[in-house]
């Protein structure tokens, strides 16, 4: 088999995988323009016979038995929560990673092992305990409960630490000779050079918060509908699809996909570069 033949076969394989991944989105797009009767019409038609924007108008403000909240407001507050989480996560995880990679302090090795051990604890096993903790702290139904509990991640610290370990120690020594303090070294040397891992972790954190369903459901009650997250709203839309129609559910899902897809298109080159950073030292 020639090199060209292998390349063609590889291209066909990749194209087939990509097509399988995007088939749900491809089928969803025309369905958002169908009325609730045409979606289930037989025989099936890919393109809508009578395109309509009613599904998008219907989700602009939802008033029905289960929920009454603006879909687009929910999308905006979810994006805000995810954006604030990205900022907080990068600051905390990078600071901790720098400390473990470059500083010396008591019980450093023990603390590192303890932190890594949290990677082996499934989040679902401490979910109820976590809810009780934030409830005791009076954080239920607040913006803080959506952001703070998930900011620090052992994996993110590990990822940044492995990257920082690749920096030559001579950089630190040269900076200290010039009079730079520890924080100055972190801020002026390590942070600017960590653009690729920052983008990768930042995008990961954003997606995690944006797609979160279980935690917001347990910590945000009906009294704070203004803090409802997008995945919870879509789930409630599905519950009342018999009233609004499944076209509205598909329209809401399609709109909610726009931001994550846009972020992926922006950071994809950094993801490719980040593959080279994932090796263990």
**What confidence score (pLDDT) does residue 134 get?**
93
Q: Is residue 12 part of a domain?
A: no
Number of domains observed in the structure of the chain: 1
Burial zone of 71 (CB within 10 Å; 0-12 exposed, 13-18 middle, 19+ buried): buried
Q: Is residue 6 part of a domain?
A: no
Look at 243 and 59; give whichever has higher pLDDT.
Answer: 59
Q: Is residue 147 part of a domain?
A: yes
Q: Is residue 204 part of a domain?
A: yes
Give pLDDT tens digits for 236-270. 888 777 667 788 888 888 889 888 888 888 887 77
Q: Is residue 143 part of a domain?
A: yes
Could you tell me the end-to-end alpha-carbon distance of the chain, in angstroms, rounded to an integer? 37
Burial zone of 276 (CB within 10 Å; 0-12 exposed, 13-18 middle, 19+ buried): exposed
Q: Is residue 30 part of a domain?
A: no
**What confidence score (pLDDT) does residue 67 get?**
59
Is 196 in contact with 274 (CB distance < 8 Å)?
A: yes
Is 131 in contact with 218 (CB distance < 8 Å)?
A: yes
d(CA 194, CA 94): 9
Q: Is residue 140 part of a domain?
A: yes
Q: Tokens 């409830």 appear where?
A: 135
Could you tell me the CATH number of the domain that includes residue 250?
Answer: 1.10.3720.10
Is 165 in contact with 281 (CB distance < 8 Å)?
A: yes
Q: Is residue 31 part of a domain?
A: no
Look at 279 and 194; give whichever has higher pLDDT.
Answer: 194
**What confidence score (pLDDT) does residue 34 get?**
84
**What confidence score (pLDDT) does residue 173 get?**
82
**What confidence score (pLDDT) does residue 19 get?**
86
Give pLDDT tens digits for 84-124. 999 999 999 999 999 999 888 899 999 999 999 998 888 88
High-pLDDT (> 90) share of the chain, %: 31
Give pLDDT tens digits for 206-221. 999 999 999 999 999 8
Q: pLDDT band at residue 27, thresholds of 50, 70 and 90?
A: confident
Domain range for 84: 58-277
Burial zone of 107 (CB within 10 Å; 0-12 exposed, 13-18 middle, 19+ buried): exposed
């Amino acid at each position: 088999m020639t090199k060209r033949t292998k390349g063609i076969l590889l291209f066909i394989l990749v194209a087939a995988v990509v097509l399988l991944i995007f088939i749900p989105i491809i089928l969803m797009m025309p369905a958002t323009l169908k009325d609730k009767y045409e979606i289930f019409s037989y025989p099936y038609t890919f393109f809508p016979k009578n395109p309509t924007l009613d599904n998008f108008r219907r989700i602009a403000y939802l008033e029905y038995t289960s929920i009454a909240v603006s879909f687009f407001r929910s999308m905006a507050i979810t994006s805000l929560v995810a954006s604030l989480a990205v900022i907080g996560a990068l600051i905390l995880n990078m600071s901790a990673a720098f400390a473990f990679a470059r500083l010396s302090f008591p019980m450093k090795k023990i603390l590192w092992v303890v932190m890594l051990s949290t990677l082996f604890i499934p989040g679902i096993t401490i979910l109820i305990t976590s809810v009780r903790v934030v409830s005791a702290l009076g954080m239920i139904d607040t913006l803080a409960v959506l952001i703070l509990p998930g900011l620090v991640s052992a994996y993110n610290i590990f990822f940044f630490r492995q990257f920082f370990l690749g920096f030559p120690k001579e950089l630190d020594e040269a900076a200290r000779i010039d009079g730079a303090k520890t924080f100055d070294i972190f801020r002026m040397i390590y942070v600017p050079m960590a653009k690729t891992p920052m983008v990768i972790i930042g995008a990961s954190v954003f997606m995690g918060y944006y797609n979160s369903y279980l935690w917001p459901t347990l910590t945000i009650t009906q009294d704070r509908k203004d803090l409802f997250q997008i995945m919870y709203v879509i789930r409630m839309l599905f519950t009342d699809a018999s009233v609004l129609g499944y076209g509205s559910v598909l329209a809401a899902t399609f709109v909610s996909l726009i931001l994550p897809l846009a972020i992926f298109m922006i950071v994809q080159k950094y993801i490719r570069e980040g593959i080279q950073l994932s090796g263990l030292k």
